[in-house]
């Protein structure tokens, strides 16, 4: 993997939701290389999720541009984007009793023609993705019966089955217990080590500190601080963004946030 | 699991084909029971009964059931809501109003009745979805059901108005027959175009049967999976509405099949629409054929099909809803 290559770049993005002046996003710049993990943090309503929606082409920026592997995002078809950028939502409501395997197989959609069924290969890839998130024992369980944390692992597995080079995660580890959170973060680190580009939002600074190399602190729709995690993560910066007193403690070289 | 499903589908196909063949043979001519095809050779009345009445009726019945079952599954999946059926989104009432307009103002011309039934059925669906987006109460499921019943009431009022206006000797009877729903008056008149529309729609839906799964997902995730979600939802809904409205334009309202058949199919084969869609098609066909055969054979006075399916549908629905989540 050539480190000089930029896999995903958000250049000077501007965005406002039509019909409202209540929120606007301005001057967002993010450059990501293959294998990099970038965390987006900030209070509720600061624009984290909007960035992800822009990055996967769901929303169209009002200004600036998004480059995927050096080409403008709007030059790709929806399906081509689906083959390159995976998305893991925080949760998803589904009313039907799909098995975990059936559900994860849906991740193969961008690789299948609209009239095609998943092949044996697609099923094998999906099974592997389920095993990768440690849910192999649940492959034939119903998704409607899973706990919130298990469901988040399944959503990650679906994005893994999608086999994209970029992965976007929207507070995707929010409901995991400690052991599963560690597993989740280990998986992300492993994916990055294999060259995947990962951009994720989180409400937990510790999660970001555990795996990200870069961090972006958002405040009121603008980037307040951005850069290597160690530089961005200071008690002062976090206090400014979150508006609450914060202490940073370093334990075994890892930064831990304490609020008082 | 997958192997079992293939077996179940094969069995369903077998039952469907047996029902289809028996439907052609069973009836009240020349007496209650099976007709002897050989005896038809020297029996011009028998030939007329068979070719002009029974054959088109069985064809329409099979198509109607398949269309209702399949569309029901598509509706439920697209709206990510197991409680919707074409009856609950205003489609049925819309198609009925279209048919009533055709009967009252266009002398029941089958082309116009079909055109209006499809057109107003589709409009009703979009009105329901449109107004559901504007209800600020409850979740999406409740909103759809609420707005569907409001739109149904609106079209229902239109139907009442037409009935009030209608000529009591011919038109009123035709409208009433339509609202009760039945295959008793089926002839070849208007049938060929219905066959074409229903079969084309069903072929399309059968081809995209796996893809239908994805239409249940959130807009956000579905499009991240490379799907042009709005376009594909629209195409699937259009195919479903066309199939139902076309068949219904000849048969009148046959309720509840579209609601309960997908539940039965999912119960038998699981949620994956690769399997539950063909199963809904077959079970729908079987159910309508069995009900209709029963109605036209068991009693000399024919009870309209729509009444029987409502009775059966309500009972099955209550049983299925009660059995959920156990």
E strand spans, chain B = 26-27, 33-34
**Looking at residue B76, what is its pLDDT?**
93
**Looking at residue A98, what is its pLDDT?**
95
Rounded distance, CA B233 to CA B297, Å?
41
* Inside any domain, residue B258: yes
Convert the pLDDT of each residue in A225-242 to its tens digit.
999 988 998 889 999 998
Do strands A166-170 and A197-201 pair parallel, antiparallel, or not at all (unpaired)? parallel
**Residue from the list B82, B207, B214 with its beta carbon closest to the beta carbon of A96:** B82
- Domain total in chain A: 1
Cα B246–Cα B15–Cα B39 angle in degrees, nearest 5 = 85
CA distances from B239 to A2, A66, B72, B122, B284 (A): 48, 36, 12, 10, 17
CA distances from B102 to A114, B175, B240, B253 (A): 37, 10, 22, 15
Percent of chain A at pLDDT exceeding 90: 60
CA distances from B310 to B63, B71, B301, B324 (A): 18, 17, 18, 21
Residues within 8 A of A (CB atoms), B 2-31 only: none
* Inside any domain, residue B287: yes
Mean pLDDT of B311-323: 85
Structural domain containing residue B127: 55-320
pLDDT-based confidence at residue A2 (cuts at 50, 70, 90):
low
Burial of B142 (0-12, 13-18, 19+ CB in 10 A): middle
pLDDT beyond 70 at A70: yes
**Looking at residue B303, what is its pLDDT?**
85
Structural domain containing residue A168: 8-259
Test A78 with B226 for CB contact under 8 angstroms: yes
Mean pLDDT of A181-192: 93
* Inside any domain, residue A3: no
* Inside any domain, residue A208: yes
Q: Nearest-CA residue of chain B relative to A89?
A: B221
Q: Nearest-CA residue of chain A relative to B214?
A: A106
Mutate to test the interface with B, among A82, A106, A144 (most CBs of B within 10 A): A106
- Domain total in chain B: 1
- Residue A226's domain is classified under what CATH number? 3.40.50.300
Query: Which residues of chain A are at the B interface, by a Cβ-Cβ cutoff of 8 Å?
Result: 53, 56-58, 78-83, 85-87, 89, 92-99, 102, 106-107, 109-110, 112, 114-118, 140, 162, 168
Convert the pLDDT of each residue in A11-36 to its tens digit.
988 888 876 666 788 888 889 999 99
Q: Smallest CA–CA separation between A98 and chain B, in Å?
A: 5
Mutate to test the interface with A, among B141, B208, B226 (most CBs of A within 10 A): B226
B43 touches chain A (CB under 8 A): no
**Looking at residue A256, what is its pLDDT?**
85
B228 touches chain A (CB under 8 A): yes
Do strands A214-219 and A37-41 pair parallel, antiparallel, or not at all (unpaired)? parallel
Give DSSP secondary structure letters for B44-88.
HHHHHIIIIIIHHHHHHHHHHHHHHHHHHHHHHHHTT-TT--GGG
**Looking at residue A175, what is its pLDDT?**
87
Test B226 with A109 for CB contact under 8 angstroms: yes
Helix (H, G, I), strand (E, B) or coil at B26: strand
* Inside any domain, residue A159: yes
Q: What is the mean pLDDT of chain B?
A: 89
Smallest CA-to-CA distance from A94 within B229, B89, B271 is with B271
Smallest CA-to-CA distance from B244 within B163, B146, B153, B125 is with B125
**Looking at residue B20, what is its pLDDT?**
96
* Inside any domain, residue B31: no
* Inside any domain, residue B39: no
* Inside any domain, residue B207: yes
Helix (H, G, I), strand (E, B) or coil at A94: coil
Test A98 with B77 for CB contact under 8 angstroms: no
ipTM passes above 0.90: no
* Inside any domain, residue A163: yes
Q: What is the mean pLDDT of chain A?
A: 91
Q: Nearest-CA residue of chain B relative to A140?
A: B1
B221 touches chain A (CB under 8 A): yes
């Amino acid at each position: 993997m050539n480190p000089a290559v930029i896999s995903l770049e958000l250049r000077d993005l501007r965005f406002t939701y039509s019909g409202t002046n209540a929120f606007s996003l301005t001057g967002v710049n993010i450059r990501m290389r293959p294998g990099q993990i970038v965390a987006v943090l900030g209070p509720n309503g600061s624009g984290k999720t909007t960035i992800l929606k822009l990055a996967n082409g769901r929303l169209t920026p009002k200004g600036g541009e998004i480059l995927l592997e050096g080409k403008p995002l709007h030059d790709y078809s929806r399906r081509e984007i689906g083959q390159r950028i995976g998305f893991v939502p925080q949760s998803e409501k589904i009313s039907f009793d799909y098995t975990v395997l059936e559900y994860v197989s849906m991740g193969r959609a961008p690789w299948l023609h609209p009239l095609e069924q998943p092949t044996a290969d697609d099923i094998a890839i999906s099974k592997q993705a389920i095993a990768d998130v440690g849910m192999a024992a649940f492959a034939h369980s119903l998704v409607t019966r899973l706990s919130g944390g298990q469901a988040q692992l399944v959503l990650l597995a679906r994005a893994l089955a999608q086999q994209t080079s970029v992965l976007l995660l929207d507070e995707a580890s929010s409901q995991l217990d400690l052991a599963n959170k560690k597993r989740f973060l280990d998986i992300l680190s492993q994916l990055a080590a294999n060259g995947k580009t990962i951009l994720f939002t989180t409400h937990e600074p510790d999660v970001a500190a555990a795996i990200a190399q870069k961090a972006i602190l958002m405040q009121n729709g603008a980037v307040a601080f951005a850069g290597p995690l160690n530089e961005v993560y200071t008690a002062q910066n976090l206090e400014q963004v979150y508006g609450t007193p914060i202490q940073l403690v370093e334990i075994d070289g890892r930064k831990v946030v304490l609020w008082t | 699991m997958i192997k079992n499903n293939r077996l179940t589908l094969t069995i369903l196909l077998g039952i469907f084909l047996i029902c289809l063949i028996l439907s052609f043979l069973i009836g009240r001519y020349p007496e209650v029971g099976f007709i002897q095809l050989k005896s038809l050779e020297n029996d011009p009345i028998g030939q007329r009964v068979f070719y002009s009445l029974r054959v088109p009726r069985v064809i329409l019945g099979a198509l109607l059931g398949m269309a209702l079952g399949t569309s029901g599954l598509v509706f439920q999946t697209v709206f990510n809501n197991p409680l919707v059926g074409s009856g609950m989104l205003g489609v049925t009432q819309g198609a009925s109003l279209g048919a009533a307009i055709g009967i009252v103002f266009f002398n029941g011309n089958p082309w116009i009745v079909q055109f209006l039934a499809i057109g107003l059925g589709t409009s009703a669906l979009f009105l329901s979805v449109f107004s559901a987006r504007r209800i600020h109460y409850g979740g999406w499921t409740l909103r759809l059901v609420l707005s569907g019943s409001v739109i149904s009431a609106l079209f229902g009022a239109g139907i009442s108005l037409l009935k009030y206006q209608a000529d009591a000797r011919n038109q009123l009877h035709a409208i009433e027959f339509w609202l009760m729903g039945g295959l008793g008056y089926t002839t070849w008149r208007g049938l060929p175009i219905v066959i074409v529309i229903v079969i084309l729609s069903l072929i399309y839906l059968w081809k995209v049967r796996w893809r239908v799964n994805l239409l249940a997902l959130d807009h956000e995730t579905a499009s991240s999976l490379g799907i042009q979600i709005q376009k594909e939802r629209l195409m699937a809904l259009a195919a479903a509405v066309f199939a139902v409205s076309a068949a219904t334009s000849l048969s009148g309202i046959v309720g509840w099949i579209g609601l309960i058949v997908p539940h039965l199919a999912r119960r038998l084969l699981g949620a994956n629409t690769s399997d539950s869609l063909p199963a809904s098609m077959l079970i729908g066909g079987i159910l309508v054929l069995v009900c209709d055969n029963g109605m036209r054979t068991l009693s000399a006075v024919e009870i309209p099909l729509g009444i029987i399916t409502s009775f059966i549908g309500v009972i099955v629905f209550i049983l299925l809803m009660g059995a959920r989540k156990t």
